[in-house]
Copies of this chain bind each other. A is one copy, B any other.
């Protein structure tokens, strides 16, 4: 025979102790069962107007905020989505995260940002950490993890991948039309009369870097110009890379009148390199970037570039995630890349 056990309240961490209002208190106050309150909260059932009212009042009166942690445990949802980014502090990712945050928050979800720093092991750790937090979904921005790895994670949780090509049941991917953007940039230079157009590449580990290069080449060939490997310099999407590439180009004594850089950061580094060697932009050489991030507008001279709304990219990724979560098919409509003519390019006079 069991002795009757006196129930005990734990002192620490108890919601009531911390002055927090629980769903149970709301129920008592409204004279209904907790189940009913829960249903009203989740819109899970239609409830008589009277109870609806009573519960609404109680919620307002007590200032009840449902505890997402408990919801997560009980319902298997956490209303959080994990975001694997590469560096929070780069302007590119910063804007994307901003878009993700805005859109997710509007839907009551909270993003958990974790950086992978372009290291496969770190990305893996990040994903694991996020999964152990029981995120409802995962947004992956580029990165170095093999597609296979992503695909297998996608079996555990809905996933949207930005900047790669992946298909699957609860797996959605999309990205900018990098080829189109590069076409536009290169054509702009061609239309200005340039024919010796150098290209400073992005990090070849990124798909988008390859696509941009393909667009550059395509534009050249469409214009009947031979693709000249001597005019293609390696880069890594950083300013330092752009600077170094320009030095190399100048040292090689290859004639050129324009440079298309794989991203704005590269272009800005290139501009500094040119400045140091006394070559003037745009008088001596025209320069085009890619992305149109904040710094482009205030570089000297202001940089002609291709606008990609990175903010929109993030926002659309979040929207796609929300669709997946709701069991719908995501639809993404990203604005087409656009040329933003500023002062770093000009018509070739010679």
Please report A residues at the B interface, Cβ cutoff 8 Å.
12-14, 18, 65-70, 72-73, 75-78, 87-91, 94-95, 97-98, 101, 105, 110-115, 128-129, 132-134, 156, 239, 243, 268-269, 271-272, 275, 294-295, 297-302
Q: Are A101 and B129 in contact (CB under 8 A)?
A: no
Q: Are A112 and B112 in contact (CB under 8 A)?
A: yes
A78 and B69 contact, Cβ closer than 8 Å, known pairs A113-B113, A269-B298, A271-B300 = yes
CA distance A52 to B68 in the complex (A): 33
Q: Are A89 and B78 in contact (CB under 8 A)?
A: no
Smallest beta-carbon distance A281→chain B, Å: 9
Cβ-defined partner of A101 (8 Å) among B68, B88, B133, B243: B88
Cβ-defined partner of A272 (8 Å) among B69, B239, B269, B302: B302
Q: Are A115 and B134 in contact (CB under 8 A)?
A: no
Q: Are A88 and B78 in contact (CB under 8 A)?
A: no
Find the B residue at minimum CB distance from A77: B13
Smallest beta-carbon distance A203→chain B, Å: 17
A-B complex: 10 closest residue pairs judged by Cβ atoms: A13-B76, A89-B94, A239-B298, A300-B300, A69-B72, A65-B132, A89-B98, A89-B95, A94-B94, A88-B97
Q: How many copies does the complex hold?
A: 2
Smallest beta-carbon distance A271→chain B, Å: 6
CA distance A112 to B133 in the complex (A): 12
A66 and B110 contact, Cβ closer than 8 Å, known pairs A156-B18, A271-B300, A298-B243 = no
CA distance A225 to B90 in the complex (A): 41
Smallest beta-carbon distance A320→chain B, Å: 20
CA distance A69 to B88 in the complex (A): 25
Q: Are B89 and A115 in contact (CB under 8 A)?
A: no
Q: Are A300 and B298 in contact (CB under 8 A)?
A: no
CA distance A77 to B69 in the complex (A): 10
Q: Are A94 and B90 in contact (CB under 8 A)?
A: yes
Contacts A70-B73, A272-B300 supplied; 20 other A-B pairs, CB < 8 Å: A18-B156, A67-B132, A68-B134, A69-B72, A69-B78, A69-B133, A88-B97, A88-B98, A88-B101, A89-B94, A89-B95, A89-B98, A90-B94, A91-B94, A98-B115, A101-B114, A105-B114, A110-B112, A110-B129, A110-B133
Would you list 16 pairs from A and B whose C-beta atoms are within 8 A, ordered by A residue? A13-B76, A13-B77, A14-B76, A67-B132, A88-B101, A89-B94, A91-B94, A94-B94, A98-B115, A110-B112, A110-B114, A111-B113, A239-B294, A239-B298, A272-B299, A299-B300
Q: Are A128 and B98 in contact (CB under 8 A)?
A: no
CA distance A140 to B179 in the complex (A): 41
